[in-house]
C-alpha cells in the first residue's frame, strides 16, 4: 500500500480512460458510465482518500473499486473492470508515473547543466591542477573541469530521453496477459492517455519490466556521476586543499568539535548513489527468474523503483543548489596548478619539436630531471648526458625558453583544440553546449505539452459524458 500511494492518481486516470473506452465501444451502458465517471472525476479533483489505502484491501486498485462501488452503487461500481485485469492496469499506472518522473528528472538535469555552464563561463581563465590517480597531472582550468561534468550530465539526459520513448507505450487492453473477448480499443486508450503507441504483445505488456530496469540503470549511472562530483566537493572543501567553500546551509558541525564544518549533504548524496544502484540490482534479481507472464514477485519491485526515483530527483536538485552557492578559491587553485612539475609534458614536447628528439627519449630526460628534484638547465643537462650523451644548453636551450615552456598559462593556452582547456576552447564549448541545452529544453517542453494536452482533452471528454 505504501508503494501504491505513488500510483494512486495515475490509477484514476487509467480508470477514466478505460471507462471512456468502454462507453465508446458500447460495452457499458450510459447510466452506469455516467455514475462511475462522476465518482472518478470527484476522486481526480479532490485526491484519493485514506480509506482507499486501508489494509483490508489487497492493493490500491481494490481500494479504489470499493470507493466506486460505495459512490456509484454496486450495480454500476462493479462494472468498471470489464475487459481488463489488474495486471495491465498496474502496468499502465507504473508507466504513466514513471514517464512523468523521467520528465521531471530531465528538467532537473537541464537546471543542473545550466548552472554548470554559467559557472564555466565565469572561469575560463581560472587555472587549476588536473589530476590522474589523484596526483597532480597537468594544469587545466575550472571551466574545463565544470564542462566535463556538464557533458556527462548531458549524456544522462539523452539516456533518460531514450528510455522515455520505450516507457511511454500503453499496455492497456492486455488484461491478464491474453487480451480480452470484449471489443476493446487499445489504440484509443493509448491516445487519450498520451502514450506514443502500444506494447504490442499482450503477454509482454503485463509481464515485462525491462523499461523499469532501463530507468533504474540510467538513474544509477546518473547517481554515479553525481557521487563523483560530490566526492570532489568533499575533498576540495577540506582546509587541506581549500579549492571550494560550501554554503553553510549544506554543511553541519560536530557535536563535540566546535571548529568543524562537515560537508554532510554531499556525503549523504554519495551514499544515495549506493541506494539507487542497490535498487537496480534488487529489481534485476527480482525479474531475472520470472517465467511468462505476470508473477506476484513484480509487486516487490515497485518500492525500490519509487525510492530510487525520489533519491535521484532530490540529489539532482540539491547538487544544483550546492554548486550555485559555492565559492571557488581561484588563487588557491592557481597556486597549486603549477606544483608537482605539472608542465613536464610540455617540456618533453618542446624537446621533440625543437631538437627532433624521439618522444620516449625526451620523456626519459625530463623524468630524470624531476627525479633529481628540480627542472633546471643543470638537471636537464645532467639527464640528457645520461640518456643521449648530449648537452641541451649546448644545443641552444636557454633559461628564458625553459621558463616559458614551463609556464602554466602557456601550457593551458597551447591546448586550444576542441574540448581542450584553453580559454578560447572552453568558450566555444560553452556556446556549443548552450545550443545543445536549448534543443533539449525544446524536446522536454514538447513532450510535457503533448502529455498535458492529452490528459486535458481526456478530462474534458469525461466531463462531457457526465
Residue 1 has pLDDT above 80, yes or no: no
Between the CA atoms of 368, 373, 378 and 380, what dihedral angle is there, to the nearest 10 degrees? Answer: 30
Task: Report the SS3 class of residue 300.
Answer: helix
Q: Is 33 left (phi over 0), alpha (psi -120 to 50) or beta?
A: alpha
Q: How far apart are CA 292 and CA 289, in angstroms?
A: 10
* 290-314: pLDDT as tens digits: 999 999 999 999 999 999 999 999 9
Whether residue 224 has pLDDT greater than 90: yes
Where residue 53 falls among pLDDT bands split at 50, 70, 90?
confident
* pLDDT tens-digit readout, 411-441: 999 999 999 999 999 999 999 999 999 999 9
Binned at pLDDT 50, 70 and 90, residue 3 comes out as confident
Omega cis (within 30) before 293: yes
* Catalytic residue check, 133: yes
Q: Where in the chain are the domains? A: 4-84, 87-120+141-180+195-336, 344-406
Residues above pLDDT 90, as percent of the chain = 82
Residue 454's pLDDT is what? 98
Summarize pLDDT for 26-38 with one digit per residue, the tens.
Answer: 999 999 999 999 9
Indicate the pLDDT class of residue 74, thresholds 50, 70 and 90. confident
Flag whether pLDDT at 85 surpasses 80. Answer: yes
Section 270-296 average pLDDT: 95
Measure the CA–CA gap between 193 and 196, rounded to whole angstroms.
Answer: 9
Cα–Cα distance, 443 to 251 (Å, whole number) = 36
Task: Output the pLDDT for position 238.
Answer: 95
In this prediction, residue 255 has a pLDDT band, given cuts at 50, 70 and 90, of confident
The x, y and z cell numbers of residue 393, run together, are 644548453
Between 317 and 47, residue with greater pLDDT: 317
* pLDDT given at position 62: 86
pLDDT in tens, 203-218: 999 999 999 999 999 9
Q: Which three cell numbers stand for residue 51?
A: 480509506
Torsion angle, alpha carbons of 150, 153, 159, 160, to 10:
-120
Residue 460 has a pLDDT of 97
Question: 3-class SS at 168?
Answer: coil
Predicted pLDDT at 334: 95
CATH class of 4-84: mainly alpha
| Helix (H) / strand (E) containing 362 | helix 359-371
* Domain 4-84 and domain 87-120+141-180+195-336 have a common topology: no
Checking if the pLDDT of 120 tops 80, the result is yes
The span from the CA of 115 to the CA of 323, in Å, is: 7
Q: What is the rounded distance in angstroms from the CA atom of residue 327 to the CA atom of residue 43?
A: 48
Segment 389-402, tens digit of pLDDT: 789 998 999 999 99
Answer for the pair 369, 380: CB distance below 8 angstroms, yes or no: yes
Catalytic residue from among 238, 254, 374, 452: 254
Q: Which pLDDT value is given to residue 236? A: 96
C-alpha distances in Å from residue 174, one per residue of 88, 102, 168, 186, 214: 6, 24, 16, 8, 22
The pLDDT of residue 341 is above 80: yes
**Which spans in 208-263 are helix H?**
210-236
pLDDT at 284 over 90: yes
Query: Above 90 in pLDDT, residue 191?
Result: yes
Q: What is the mean pLDDT of residues 131-151?
A: 94
Q: By C-alpha distance, which of 187, 109, 136 is closest to 408?
A: 136
Which grid coordinates belong to 365?
630526460
At residue 60, the pLDDT reads 84
Among the listed residues 133, 249, 255, 417, the single catalytic one is 133
**pLDDT > 80? residue 187:** yes
**Confidence (pLDDT) at 59:** 84
pLDDT at 54 > cutoff 90: no
- Assigned CATH for 87-120+141-180+195-336: 1.20.200.10
Amino acid at each position: 500500500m505504501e508503494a501504491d500511494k505513488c500510483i494512486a492518481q495515475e490509477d484514476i486516470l487509467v480508470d477514466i480512460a478505460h471507462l471512456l473506452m468502454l462507453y465508446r465501444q458500447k460495452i457499458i451502458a450510459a447510466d452506469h458510465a455516467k455514475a462511475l465517471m462522476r465518482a472518478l472525476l470527484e476522486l481526480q479533483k479532490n485526491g484519493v482518500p485514506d480509506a482507499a489505502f486501508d489494509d483490508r484491501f489487497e492493493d490500491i486498485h481494490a481500494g479504489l473499486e470499493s470507493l466506486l462501488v460505495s459512490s456509484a452503487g454496486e450495480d454500476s461500481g462493479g462494472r468498471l473492470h470489464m475487459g481488463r485485469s489488474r495486471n495491465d492496469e498496474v502496468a499502465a499506472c507504473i508507466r504513466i508515473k514513471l514517464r512523468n518522473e523521467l520528465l521531471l528528472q530531465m528538467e532537473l538535469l537541464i537546471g543542473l547543466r545550466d548552472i554548470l555552464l554559467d559557472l564555466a563561463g565565469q572561469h575560463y581563465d581560472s587555472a587549476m591542477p588536473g589530476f590522474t590517480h589523484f596526483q597532480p597531472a597537468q594544469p587545466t582550468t575550472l571551466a574545463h573541469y565544470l564542462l566535463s561534468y556538464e557533458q556527462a550530465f548531458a549524456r544522462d539526459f539523452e539516456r533518460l530521453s531514450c528510455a522515455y520513448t520505450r516507457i511511454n507505450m500503453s499496455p492497456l487492453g492486455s488484461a491478464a496477459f491474453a487480451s480480452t473477448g470484449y471489443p476493446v480499443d487499445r489504440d484509443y486508450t493509448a491516445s487519450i492517455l498520451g502514450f506514443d503507441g502500444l506494447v504490442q504483445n499482450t503477454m509482454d505488456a503485463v509481464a515485462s519490466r525491462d523499461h523499469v530496469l532501463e530507468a533504474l540503470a540510467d538513474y544509477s549511472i546518473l547517481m554515479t556521476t553525481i557521487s563523483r562530483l560530490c566526492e570532489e566537493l568533499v575533498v576540495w572543501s577540506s582546509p587541506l586543499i581549500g579549492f571550494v567553500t560550501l554554503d553553510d546551509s549544506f554543511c553541519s558541525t560536530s557535536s563535540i568539535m566546535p571548529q568543524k564544518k562537515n560537508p554532510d549533504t554531499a556525503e549523504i548524496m554519495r551514499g544515495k548513489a549506493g541506494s539507487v544502484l542497490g535498487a537496480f540490482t534488487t529489481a534485476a534479481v527480482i525479474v531475472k527468474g520470472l517465467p511468462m507472464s505476470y508473477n506476484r514477485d513484480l509487486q516487490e519491485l515497485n518500492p525500490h523503483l519509487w525510492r530510487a526515483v525520489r533519491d535521484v530527483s532530490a540529489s539532482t536538485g540539491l547538487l544544483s543548489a550546492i554548486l550555485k552557492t559555492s565559492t571557488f578559491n581561484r588563487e588557491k587553485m592557481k597556486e597549486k596548478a603549477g606544483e608537482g612539475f605539472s608542465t613536464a609534458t610540455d617540456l618533453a614536447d618542446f624537446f621533440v619539436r625543437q631538437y627532433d628528439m624521439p618522444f620516449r627519449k625526451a620523456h626519459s630526460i625530463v623524468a630524470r630531471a624531476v627525479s633529481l628534484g628540480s627542472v633546471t638547465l643543470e638537471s636537464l643537462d645532467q639527464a640528457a648526458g645520461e640518456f643521449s650523451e648530449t648537452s641541451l644548453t649546448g644545443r641552444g636551450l636557454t633559461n628564458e625558453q625553459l621558463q616559458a615552456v614551463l609556464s602554466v598559462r602557456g601550457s593551458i593556452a597551447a591546448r586550444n583544440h576542441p574540448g581542450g582547456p584553453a580559454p578560447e576552447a572552453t568558450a566555444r564549448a560553452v556556446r556549443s553546449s548552450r545550443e545543445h541545452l536549448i534543443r533539449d529544453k525544446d524536446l522536454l517542453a514538447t513532450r510535457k505539452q503533448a502529455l498535458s494536452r492529452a490528459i486535458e482533452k481526456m478530462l474534458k471528454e469525461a466531463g462531457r459524458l457526465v
